[in-house]
Copies of this chain bind each other. A is one copy, B any other.
Amino acid sequence: MRVVMKFGGTSMAGIERIRHVARLVERQAASSETCVVVSAMAGETDRLVQFCKEAAAHHDPREYDVVVASGEQVTAGLLAMTLQNAGLEARSFMGWQLLEASGVHGNARVEKIESGALDGALRAGTVAVIPGFQGRTEEGRIATLGRGGSDTSAVAIAAGLRADRCDIYTDVAGVYTTDPRIEPTARKLEAVGAEEMLELAGAGAKVLQVRSVGLAIREDMPLTVRSAFEDEPGTHIITNWEEADMERIAISGIAADRSEALVKLAASDRPGRLAAALRALASEGLSVDMVAQGPDSLHFTVPKTNLARALKALDGAKDAIGQTAVTSDDNVAKVSVVGVGIRSNPELAAKVFDVLADRQVPLLAATLSELKASALVPDEQVDVAVRALHAAFELGE
């Protein structure tokens, strides 16, 4: 049995928490070969990024990587010595000693794990501790994998080591049917499909980095999300397609996302108006989410943080779009019902909008995709909508 454990920044924030992590590792190591991937102390990466910003507005990403990679180096060394202090055989390996990365500095991809020395250490009963989020480029320089990249490191290392599973320890206990702060009967899922997990995690608690889940699917690596602070089973993320068909349930949960704003263009229906609008936004690197077209209007959502830039980009292209007026509304939220059932069972999607209509929740926009049915509703109605849907789909305890 070989297990990779991954701990995030909240779990590594200070020596007391690192000692707690060491106890969890000790327990795991009693029954498996164990490799631990760690994040920097919470706040440390931000501190280092801030230094870079102050040093140079447009900084060399290679030097940025040198600076920010130091945070995980510190926690890896500290956890290794804490484990030794608890009587375990433990040692750290650096990212540059075993993880080959490629692509863009600051956002590199994992290319290969050089597992030789690591494998030997694990077989000899040593707990290996590895800084997440970083590796070495072909040129032999430090590269980081982008924010949250420690999840991806962990999955890549688990795959490279042919581990039996990868456990992501975080500050949430798992994936829930909806946000328990909105709906107290929200239930922790024992298992959830990888894509549904991403949809559910979406805007709320960032449970896992998207890339890490993609990698787990590709590598067929069993993945579990669980709490670093409470001793409870977490949520198993189903990354294996065959297993998926057996276990996945029709509706996994309800997601609420307050991060998008609605943009409404008054524009007569002429060919290319949507394309022109999207092109104007894309040229600024802005993507849109929900899109709705009417005869004299065009609605879509953009991230609230990008709203000002989006309005400016649209104004610059108003002739091409043919728009006569633009308004926006950031008191909106997106409520989504997530599950494979949506794909296979069109009545479920219909039910979503029925439930909202029943409760007289205004529908500002709606979209339907393979895995989810989403409704844009006024911000103040989001709790009502979530609770109604959670009850209607019998997701509670």
Contact = CB atoms under 8 A, between A and B. Distances in A.
A103 interface: no
A67 B38 CA distance: 13
Contacts of A57: 85
Contacts of A80: 60, 63, 66
Given A55-B15, A97-B140, A77 B82 contact: no
What bracket does the count of chain A residues touching chain B fall in?
35 or more
Interface stretch (A88-96, A185-193, A314-322, A385-393): A88-96
A172 interface: no
A142 to B, nearest CB: 7
Contact of A74 (B19, B48, B62, B82): B48
Interface in A121-152: 140-142
Contact of A63 (B55, B71, B84): B84
A158 to B, nearest CB: 22
Interface in A264-315: none
A70 interface: yes
Nearest to A82: B55
Given A69-B73, A70-B73, A73-B69, A64 B52 contact: no
B73 A56 contact: no
A91 B62 contact: yes
A56 B84 contact: yes
A51 B74 contact: yes
> Which of A48, A60, A74, A77 counts the most B-chain CB atoms under 10 A from its CB?
A77
Contacts of A351: none
Contact of A77 (B63, B76, B81, B84): B63
B97 A78 contact: no
Contacts of A218: none
A348 interface: no
A85 B81 CA distance: 38
Nearest to A84: B60
A85 B59 contact: yes
Given A74-B48, A84-B59, A66 B54 contact: no
B51 A64 contact: no
A78 B94 contact: no
Given A63-B80, A70-B71, A97-B141, 12 more contacts: A55-B78, A55-B85, A56-B81, A59-B81, A60-B81, A66-B74, A67-B77, A67-B81, A70-B70, A70-B74, A94-B96, A97-B140
14 contacts: A15-B51, A15-B55, A51-B74, A55-B85, A56-B82, A59-B81, A60-B81, A62-B92, A66-B77, A70-B70, A70-B71, A70-B73, A94-B96, A97-B140
* 3 closest A-B pairs by CB: A66-B77, A56-B85, A67-B77
